[in-house]
Amino acid sequence: MQITGEDLATVFFTVMIAGVLWMPTTWLLLSIFTPKKLLEKYFKEPHFSLAETILMARFPGFLIRTGIFAWLALRPSLDKKRNIKNVKAYMPRWYELALKSFMIGVIMTMTLFFGLMAILLLIPPESSS
């Protein structure tokens, strides 16, 4: 079975539309439901500067805070700069899984989105139909 440009475009537009629907919703929900225990332990000096704690306390700054925790949950070795160790111990299991799923999902969505876009843009015109 030969995969056509139209088939790839179907996947591309599905990924694009699904991404616009799930990414901001999940990101926002994860930011709203950040565990208090985690915030009390790490969302303060010296892990975050005083100014950062003000900026990232509410929308839209708290999205960056969630992103930081998501990366640290996914790759604990990134803790060197902020010294946020064992972040998993301060969040429930469901939240840890949700954070990891969110970041892996974003990586996959963006890889597919830009990967398919590159392939589709590089297909020569004569084989486009």
Q: Is 62 in the site for another protein (CB under 8 A)?
A: no
- Segment contacting another protein (CB under 8 A): 35-43, 88-96, 118-126? 118-126
CA 24 to chain CA centroid, nearest Å: 9
Tokens of 26: 């999940």
Q: What CA–CA distance (Å, rounded) separates 14 from 33?
A: 28
Residue 86's region, left for phi above 0, alpha for psi from -120 to 50, else beta, is: left
10 to each of 4, 19, 97, 123, how far by Cα in Å? 10, 14, 29, 15
Which residues, 13 to 32, sit near another protein by CB under 8 A?
A: 13, 16-17, 19-20, 23-24, 27
Binding mask 67-106 for another protein (x = CB under 8 A): xx-xxx-----x-xxx-------------------xx--x
- Residue in 11, 35, 61, 100 binding another protein, rule: CB under 8 A: 61
DSSP secondary structure string for all residues of 43-68:
SSTTTS-HHHHHHTTSTTHHHHHHHH
Tokens of 68: 């930081």
CB of 71 to another protein, least distance (A): 5
Which residues would be at the binding site for another protein (CB under 8 A)? 5-6, 8-10, 12-13, 16-17, 19-20, 23-24, 27, 49-52, 54-55, 60-61, 63-64, 66-68, 70-72, 78, 80-82, 102-103, 106-107, 109-110, 113-114, 117, 120-121, 125, 128-129
